[in-house]
Amino acid sequence: MSLTIASALCRSTIWFDPRPPSGSEGFVIYASDYADNLHEVHLLVDKIQAVGEESSATVQLYWGIRAHGLNATLVVGMRVPRDGEMQKAQATMFLGNGSETENIRFNRSYVKPENATYFDTSMSRLSKKGFLCTEFHFETRLLWRGFLYRKSFSRYSLILPLSFSDTRHFPELKPFYLGEAHRSILSVQPPPDSNVVQTSPAATQFTFAEGKLWYIWNASLLGKPWPVSLAAVAVDLEMNSLVKREQDMNYWTALGFGVGVPLAITSFVEFLRLRHAREKNPHGSCSALRLYLSAR
């Protein structure tokens, strides 16, 4: 669906999606059935950019899980709403007296009906010394696209959906919901050229890191007190550069109406008077013009 704004100087078309995300579109982590205890989740969104109808941001997702049993392979996955592209992924395996970190590669698949991107990978639970690891921490960084909803010419809404139910895209894997982790933190850094108009729900706290303001929510509270299939955080952003452009458009449009409308009315009245003068003297255009001018 689109909304077109036209002025005396330019024309702009705004595309927006009035359909809210469904329960099968929120962030979810997957792991093998013998994994449990999603005990640490941190989702960070920064480097937000909006150019026209296109939007992108960097998403960093950290989480930790435990695995039981004697299976030597651990399968993990994740779902990202909209379009995501994995840029970096690392897994740290903790041993009794140390840890090992390795780069991992996720397979990517985009599911159009759900408008979501899925990632999955299979890794060994065995350390370099042949010990079976039970605790894992993952660090991923993604390029996230198409997540901003345009509400007006200069205002966008950032929607971060978290699922609390699942359609089991991976039948062999178990879903872990971010809001049900022992500790789940959601952080958003607004673009530097923007103002935060409002957030829903209100941020739990604010902090400055490297001179940048972060809005922080306790994601564990989003799905409470009632059971829900999807909970979301919404951040309404106003882009300062677009505000200035919108003000200029409004000014020139108002000026055009202010000058153009009276001029059009005056021209129409003068046209009627000239036609009346011609009707009085239909055979002499010069005489009609002199009659029109003398009437003024």
Same domain, 22 and 75: yes
Each residue's pLDDT, cut to its tens digit, for the chain (296 residues) gives 333 333 333 333 333 444 455 546 789 999 998 998 888 899 999 999 987 778 899 999 999 999 998 899 999 999 999 999 999 999 999 987 789 999 999 999 988 777 889 999 999 999 888 889 999 999 999 999 988 888 887 888 998 988 887 766 787 889 998 888 888 899 999 998 888 999 988 999 999 887 889 999 998 887 666 667 788 899 999 888 876 666 666 555 665 655 555 655 666 666 666 666 666 666 555 554 455 455 55
Residues 35 and 150 reside in one and the same domain? yes
196 and 278 inside one domain: no
Pick the closest to residue 146 from 240, 48, 62, 30 (CA basis). 48
Task: Say yes or no: 48 and 88 in one domain.
Answer: yes
- Structural domain span for residue 76: 2-239
**Do 254 and 222 belong together in one domain?**
no
| Stated pTM of the model | 0.74
Which residue is listed with tokens 């001179």?
Answer: 211
Same domain, 261 and 227: no
Same domain, 161 and 272: no
Residues 62 and 141 in one domain: yes
Residues 153 and 260 in one domain: no
Pick the last residue of a domain from 196, 211, 239: 239
Alpha carbon distance 184, 75 (integer Å): 22
Residue 169: which CATH number?
2.60.40
Domain edge (last residue) among 223, 239, 255: 239
> 186 and 286, same structural domain?
no
Residues 68 and 162 both lie in one domain: yes
Judge if 163 and 275 occupy the same domain: no
- Counting the structural domains of the chain, the total is 2
